Homo-oligomer: A and B are copies of this chain.
Amino acid sequence: MPEFDAIRSLFLAKTVAVVGASASPEKTGYVILKNIIDGGYQGRVYPVNPKAESILGVPCVASLADIPGEVDLVVVVVPAKAVPEVMRQAAAKGVKGAVIISGGFREIGNAELEAEVIGIARDAGIAVIGPNCQGINYLPNRLCASWPLLDVEGPIAVISQSGTIAAAMGGWAADDAVGVTATVALGNNSGVSETALLEFFAGEEDVRVIALNVEGVRDGRLFMEVAKRAAAKKPVVVLKPGRTVKGAQAAQSHTKSIAGSDAVFDAMCRQIGLIRAPGLAEFYDDCKILGMLQKPAGKRLAILTSSGGSGILAADTAEDLGIELPALPEAAVQALREALPPQCVAANPLDLTGDATASRYGDALNVLKDYDCADCYLLIFGDPIEGAAEVAEAMKAKLNKPVIAAFLGGGEVQKEEVPKLHRAGIPAFPTPERAVGALAALLRKQ
Contacts and interface: CB of A to CB of B under 8 A. Distances in A.
Given A316-B241, A383-B148, A408-B168, A349 B250 contact: yes
Nearest to A413: B148
Contacts of A107: 343, 353
Nearest to A386: B26
Nearest to A324: B246
A319 B244 contact: yes
Contacts of A431: 168, 279-281
A254 interface: yes
Contact of A309 (B213, B309, B351): B213
Given A103-B353, A343-B107, A354-B134, A164 B411 contact: no
Given A345-B253, A345-B254, A312 B411 contact: no
A266 interface: no
A281 B168 CA distance: 19
Contacts of A308: 162, 250, 253-255
Contact of A315 (B132, B247, B354, B433): B247
A382 interface: yes
A342 interface: yes
Contacts of A325: 246
Interface string A137-154: 000000000011100000
B319 A245 contact: yes
Given A164-B409, A433-B279, A244 B320 contact: yes
Interface residues of A, number: 80
A362 interface: no
Give how many copies assemble into the complex.
2
A402 interface: no
A104 interface: yes
Q: Which residue among A243, A246, A355 has the maximum number of chain B CB atoms within 10 Å of its CB?
A: A246
A433 B280 contact: yes
Contact of A411 (B171, B243, B307): B171
A181 interface: no
A254 B315 contact: no
A312 B247 contact: yes
Interface-central residue, A26, A160, A343, A412, by most chain B CB under 10 Å? A343
A28, A307, A308: most-surrounded residue (chain B CB, <10 A):
A308
Contacts of A228: none
A58 interface: no
A121 interface: no
Contacts of A274: none
A390 to B, nearest CB: 15
Nearest to A149: B411
A245 B318 CA distance: 11
Interface string A325-338: 10000000000000
Contacts of A310: 162, 164-165, 280
A317 B412 CA distance: 33
A110 to B, nearest CB: 9
A108 B344 CA distance: 8
A161 B313 CA distance: 13
24 contacts: A103-B355, A107-B343, A108-B342, A132-B343, A134-B354, A148-B384, A162-B308, A162-B309, A163-B354, A164-B382, A164-B383, A165-B309, A165-B408, A168-B382, A168-B408, A171-B410, A215-B312, A241-B309, A247-B312, A253-B308, A253-B345, A254-B345, A254-B351, A281-B434
Interface of A: 26, 28, 103-104, 107-109, 132, 134, 147-149, 160-168, 171, 213, 215, 241-247, 249-251, 253-255, 279-281, 306-313, 315-320, 325, 342-343, 345, 347, 349, 351, 353-355, 357, 382-384, 408-414, 430-434
Given A160-B309, A253-B345, A280-B310, 14 more contacts: A107-B343, A148-B409, A148-B411, A163-B382, A163-B383, A164-B307, A165-B409, A168-B431, A244-B315, A244-B316, A249-B315, A250-B308, A253-B347, A280-B431
